Structure 1
C-alpha cells in the first residue's frame, strides 16, 4: 500500500521529521469517535517511519492524548526539531470543554525526547496560549525553525486577530526563543488580510529562495505556498501557488538527503460514496518537489515509488464508437476514445503523447466501461491551461434526459493550472485502491479518490483535435 493508512483509524495532519537516516511521519490519529464532549478519548499523535515511501514501519501512538480535563485532551498539529542534544516536539493542545461562548481555547504544548522519536515526556509547565490581540480559539500548529544556526529559534502559528473582518483575520503569528522554553512575541511573519486562517504553516530555505507553506479553507481547501528572497518576506505568489488540489490537504514538507518531500493526506468521503462530502483525514500521500529557476515548485512522484512498479507492459487499445483505429490517425472534429483491457486496482499507468496544436481536450480514462461511456476522466485542457478530474455517470436530478448534472463540468475541487503547449506530454497515474494521484510532466499533481470505479480499465480520448500516442504502459 503506497497510500498508507493504519489498520484502525485514519491519517490526519502529517508532521514529517528527518532523523537517523529515516523519515519519521508523525500524524494525528483520527479514530473517528462520536461526540468529542461525551467523555471519549481525545486525539493522539501516532508515528510511521520509512526510507522510501514504499515500505513503512508502524510505531503506533507515541504521544498520548491528555485526560478528560487536560488542556491537551486533543493533541493537534505541530512540529519536531532537534537542538543537537534532545528532540523537541511542539503541538497544539485543545479541549472542547475548556473555553468560552466563542469556542474552545487552543494552546501551544511542549514535549521532549532523549533521541528516540517513539518516546516523549510532556512539559506542561511550558504550555502557553494566545497573547492579547489574538483569538484564544485560534492559536495552533506551531512550527519551529531557525533562519541560521546562530540565530534564535522562531515559531510560527496559525492565528487570528481579535479585531478585523472575520473572513480576513488570519495571520501567521511569530515568536522567538533562545532556549526553546521561553517565547517572546515578535512581528507576524505574514498578514495576508485574505483568509479565515492559514493552517499548518511550514517555513524552509531552498537555495536562494525562502518558502512559506500553508493550508487554507477560505477560497478553497488547498495547500498553498509563497516565496521570498529573505526569511521575513515579502511573501509573493509564484506562477503556480498550489501544491495539489482539494484531495491533498494539510501538506507539510521535509528535507531528507538533499531532497524535499511534501506529505499530506487524501481525504475519505462520507458514506464511502463518490457523491459524499469530503471528510477530515484519510490516507497518507507524498509528492517530491523540484525547484524551478523562478522559485516555483514542480511536483512529482518520488523515484522510489515509481521503481516499486517495475513490471511494465504496453496497453493494447481498441477504438470505440467509430473512432479511428488508433490515436494519431489524423485530427478529429469529434470525441474519440480508445479503451484497453482491465488492469490491477493498484498500478502505475504512464502515457506519453504528442498533442497537436488547437486540441480542445485530451486525457486518460480510468475505470472505463467497455464502450468508454462511464469512468474516471483525467482531462487535460490546453486551451484553458488546466487539468481537471471528471467522472461519469454524474449525479441526476430526475429521470428526464436533461436532468443530469451538466452544469457541474468536472469535480470543481479537483482542478489545477497546468501549462500544456503543443508537443509531447507525459501523464502518470498512480492507482492505489480507492485513492489515486495524477502527475503531468513531472510538474503538476492532482490527487483524488474514487469509490465506485467498476472495472479498472484504462483508455485515452481526444476532443476537437488529436495526439500521436508514443506509449501507454501499465506497471504492476
Structure 2
C-alpha cells in the first residue's frame, strides 16, 4: 500500500513539475540559465548523463529563494535546463523550506531517486532542517516532510546544520550522510549520520573536524572512493573560501592533508565531486559581481564551472580542463597579431621576449567560446609575463592573468597591465615556475568567465566583464620568456 501511495504522489508531482519547468537546451562550457544564476551544485551521474542539480539564484525579490533546478549534460558542453525541479515553499511563514539549501541525490535500493536537501526558514529556530524528496525520473520530485530532522546535541551551536551529502558506503553496508555543522567548541565540523533505509538516520558523531587553524564551517562536503583512495572535499566558508580536499585509505579515515590541498582560488566555490564510469570531476560555480562591473565585490552564485581531477601515483589530485569539453573545441580561430611593442621576436605561433623592459603583442577581439593553448619557458626567475584582456588604445589591458616566476604564482590582476608590478592581485594560486623547464597552459573562455589551467598543477577561475568583444594580448614586463604553440580554437 505504501509503495502505491508513493507512486501516486510521484505521478501528481510529475504533472505539477512539468508544468512549471521550462526546458532550455544550449551549448556552453560555463552555463547559467540565461535569466538566473548557478549557486551550489549537486552533481549526480545517472549512468549515461550528468544531472547537475543546483541552487537557482533568481534574484527576483520573491519571499522565498534558491529552488533546486537542474542542468543535464553528457560532455559539459551541451546542456539542457529544467527550472525549479524542487521548489521552495511559501504557503505559510513557518514552512521549514521557505528557502532551499545544498544537498545531494542518491539512487536507493528501492529503485527510486532520493534527494536530501537543506530546508531554511529565517523566522524559526532552528533555522536549518535536513529534508527528503523522492523521484522516478530525476526531474519530478515529491517531498517527504515526515522524514525531516534537525541537529541533535552537540550540533546545536550557531544553528548550522546543512548540506547533507548522501551515498551508499559499500564497505560498511549502509547509507552515509555527511552534514556541515558546528560543535559545542564553536568550530566547524562534519557530522556523520547513517541509515539502512534512507528514512531513519542515526547520529554517529563528528566525522571530521576543521584542521585549517580556523573555526570556519566546512560547506558542501563530498566523500567518494576513486582508485585506491577515499577523498573528502569541502569549502571553507571563511577566510579563504576555496575548495579543499583530504585523502585516506578507509572511508572512516584517518584523513591526510596534502601539501597542496586545494585546486583553485576563491573564484571557484562550493565544488562537489562526481564520478562517471572512468573519470572524476569537481563541479562548482564562479561568482558574478555586483552590477556587472569588474571593480565591484563578488555576489553569491554565478556560472557553473567544472574541473576534471587527475590522480598522481601518490594519490594526490590536480585539476585539468574537462577532456570531453576540450575534445570538441578543435575548430581553429585565426590569431594574427595586430600590433607589437618593445623587444619581441615574432615567429608565427612563437614569441620570444628578451626581458629588457616592457613588451607586448595585441591580438584581435575576443568573441564567443574560446580555448587558448600554448607552452612557455622562462630563462630566469624574474619579471612577469602573461595574458592581458580589454586592451585599450594604449596597448595595455585592464584585466590580466599574470605568471610571476619570482613569487612562484599565477594571479589575476584587476588593474592596468602597466601597474601590475605594484598592485595586489585579486586572485592567486601557487605554481612551480622553474627556469628552462617547459610548461603548458590552457585558457577556457565563455562570455565573462575565464578559467586558466597551468601545467597539471592548478586552476584559476575568474570573472571578467570587459573581456568579450575587446582585443587581448600577451606581454612581458622584465621577464625573459618564450611562448610557443600559441593557438586559439572554438566549438
Q: Could you tell me the TM-score, scaled by structure 1's length?
A: 0.89
Secondary structure of 2:124 counterpart: strand
Residue 280 (1) aligns with residue 300 (2):
yes
Aligned residue runs from structure 1 range 208-219, under 5 A: 208-219=228-239
Partners of 1:405 and 1:135 in 2: CA distance: 46
Specify every segment of 5 or more residues in structure 1 that has no aligned partner in the other structure, as ranges.
395-400
Q: Which residue of 2 aligns with 1:187?
A: 205
CA contact (8 A) 1:210 1:229 kept: yes
What is the match of residue 289 of structure 1? 309
2:452 to 404, 417, 438: 438
Look up the match of 2:114: 88
Kindly indicate whether the alpha-carbon contact (under 8 Å) linking 1:374 and 1:391 is maintained by their aligned counterparts in 2. no
1:336 corresponds to 2:321: no
The 3 A distance-change label for structure 1 pair 200 and 329 is: closer
Contact 1:174–1:188 (8 Å) recurs in 2:
yes
Map 1:238-257 to 2 at 5 A.
238-257=258-277
SS at match of 1:240: coil
Paired position in structure 2 for 1:227: 247
- Tell me the equivalent position of 2:35: 8
1:118 is matched with which residue? 139
Q: Deviations over 1:187-221 (max 9, x none)?
A: 31111253321000100111221111001122211
CA contact (8 A) 1:240 1:297 kept: no
1:108 is the counterpart of 2:130: yes
Is the 1:425–1:441 Cα contact (8 Å) retained in structure 2? yes
CA distance in 2, matches of 1:30, 1:214: 21
Question: Is 1:362 matched with 2:382?
Answer: no
Instruction: Supply the distance in 2 between the matched residues of 1:368 and 1:8 (Cα, whole angstroms).
Output: 29
For residues 246-298 of structure 1, give each alpha carbon's deviation from its aligned partner in whole angstroms, at most 9, with x where no partner exists: 11110111101211111111111111111111111111111111011222211
CA RMSD of aligned residues (A): 2.3
| Matches of 1:368 and 1:121, distance apart in 2 | 51
**Where does residue 153 of structure 1 map in the other structure?**
175
Task: Choose from 426, 434, 437 the match for 1:421.
Answer: 434
Residues 389 and 410, structure 1, Cα contact 8 Å, conserved in 2: yes
Aligned to 1:378: 401
301-310 or 450-459, which deviates more: 450-459
What is the rounded CA distance, in whole Å, between the counterparts of 2:469 and 2:137 in structure 1? 45
Structure 1 match to 2:160:
138
2:196 to 159, 162, 178: 178
- Give, in whole Å, the separation in 2 of the partners of 1:26 and 1:108: 17
Deviates more, 1:461-470 or 1:219-228: 461-470
Give unpaired runs (5+ residues) of structure 2: 1-27
Paired position in structure 1 for 2:19 = none
Instruction: Kindly tell me the number of residue pairs found equivalent between the two proteins.
Output: 453
Contact 2:345–2:351 (CA under 8 A) maintained in structure 1: no
Q: Does 1:258 align with 2:278?
A: yes
CA spacing shift, 1:335–1:121, aligned 2, 3 Å: same
Deviates more, 1:135-144 or 1:345-354: 345-354
Q: Deviations over 1:117-167 (max 9, x none)?
A: 012121111100010211262000001123326522111111012x32x4x
8 Å contact kept, 2:340–2:360: yes
Q: Does the Cα contact within 8 Å between 1:106 and 1:140 map onto a contact in 2?
A: yes
Alpha carbons 1:43, 1:73 under 8 Å: kept: no
Rounded Cα–Cα distance in structure 2 between residues aligned with 1:463 and 1:236: 40
Cα 1:437–1:117 change in 2 (3 A) is same
In the alignment, the residues of structure 2 paired with residue 22 and residue 16 of structure 1 have an alpha-carbon distance, to the nearest angstrom, of 10
Structure 2 length as normaliser, TM-score? 0.87
C-alpha distance after superposition, 1:428-475 (max 9, x if no partner): 111111111111114311110011237532322223332223221111
